[in-house]
Each structure stands twice: as C-alpha cells, then as structure tokens.
Amino acid sequence: MVLKDILDTNPKLYKTLKIKGEEKKYAPGESIGTQEANQNSTAFILKGVFKVTLKGENPLLLYHIDAKSQGIISFMNFYNDTIRTSVTAIKNSRLLWVPNTDILRLGNSYPLLKNTMLSSYHYNNQELLQAMDTIISSSIEKRFIDYLLKKSSIYGTNKLYIPWNEIASDLQVSKTTVFKVVKRLKTTKQITLSGGQIVLNRFSV
C-alpha cells in the first residue's frame, strides 16, 4: 500500500498528506467523476479496487488498480489527446484526494513522493501497453482465464459470481462467445458452474 509505505518511511510526509487531503467513499459500480476538483487532485487508495476502462461506444476493460499493486489514481495518468479512460470502483473503496498543487510542492521537498508519483505514471503506462498487447495477441480463452484469475485474486476466492453481461462487456465480446468459451473450459475441466457461480478448478487464488 502506497500510503503505508510512506508512513513507514516518512511519517511526517504521511501526516501532511492526510491533513491536506480529503477522504471520499465509493460504492461498487460508482465511477470517479471528471469534475474539476478531481482533475486537479491525486488520489491515494486507502481501501478497495478500481477498474480502468477504455471509454467509447463499446467500453473495454484494460486493467485493475488497488492499494497493493499501485495505489495512486491521477487523472494525468488516464487522459491524453488520444486515449480516454474511466475509473470505476468494483468493491467498497476509499480514496484520499490531495490537491496537485500540494503534491508538486511536497514532491520538491520529499523525493519519496516524487519517486512514488513517477512509479505510478510508469505503472499505468506499462499496464495499458500490456493490456493492449493481450487484446491484440491473445486468444479469447486466454483473455477469459486471465480475467477470471484477476477477479479471483481481487475477491480472494476461486468461486466467482459475475453476470454474463458484465463479462461480455469487460472483454468486449458477445454473450454467445462467452457461452462458447465457458463450454470449452468446462469440457477441459478448468472451470465448473455451480449455483450461478464460476468455480476455477486448476488455478490457485
């Protein structure tokens, strides 16, 4: 967790960020708005998981962000002239929003914060490139399995309840394609359907 790392390394910086920041809660399915206040602030994930989706007529799931993997949401990471993304909570989540003016000022005084922000920028670029490469070069079965593994990791269980519409939307395939992939994975005993849940049989959580 980014804030915990800062707390362990520099308690004074951690305290300053908490004082300067504003904590907000997000319910599952709630998007982080692009209002002016958010565009001019950077968020540290205190709790929860968010998904980053490519915006457009057919939104496409790119990757997930949580406190463990990366921990920072900055709109400069998600918006440029050619790519528009949205960030949506998939679990009950809390963010600490800190104004970018304070981030820049504190970054000049605390190299730890500046390095953390740079790592965040590189992480998001790397995840975006990897997501695009997977979409282009991987089979739908591999994308489907990777998707289930990520969900399994997020929720801490190999028993997943994910509506078919959500899977089709996240992977940008038809429900018919989802059903065909599920049938093949059932045949090879990689997954089982039980009580409306998808159970991963051959993968560790």
Check if CATH label 2.60.120.10 holds for domain 2-136: yes
pLDDT in the model for residue 77: 56
pLDDT in the model for residue 205: 44
Q: Give the separation between CA 170 and CA 175, rounded to whole angstroms.
A: 11
CATH topology of domain 139-200: Arc Repressor Mutant, subunit A (1.10.10)
pLDDT in the model for residue 40: 86
Q: What is the mean pLDDT of each run of 10 residues along the chain (205 residues)?
A: 76 91 93 70 91 79 82 68 76 93 91 87 82 84 90 88 91 92 92 90 61
* Pair type for strands 159-160 and 191-194: unpaired
- Give CA angle at 25 (5, 60), nearest 5°: 85
Cα-flanking dihedrals φ and ψ of residue 154, to 5°?
Answer: -65, -45
pLDDT in the model for residue 103: 92
Q: Give the separation between CA 200 and CA 205, rounded to whole angstroms.
A: 9
* Torsional class of 157: left (φ above 0), alpha (ψ -120 to 50), beta (otherwise): beta
Q: Give the separation between CA 196 and CA 164, rounded to whole angstroms.
A: 10
- Asked if 196 and 161 count as a contact pair (C-beta separation under 8 A), the reply is yes
Q: Which residue type occupies 60?
A: L
Lookup: tokens for 29: 């399915």
Please tell me what DSSP assigns to residue 85: E
pLDDT in the model for residue 148: 92
Cite the residue boundaries of each domain of the chain with CATH code 2.60.120.10: 2-136
Lookup: tokens for 98: 């800190």
Lookup: tokens for 168: 């089709």
Cite the residue boundaries of each domain of the chain with CATH code 1.10.10.10: 139-200
- Asked if 107 and 7 count as a contact pair (C-beta separation under 8 A), the reply is no
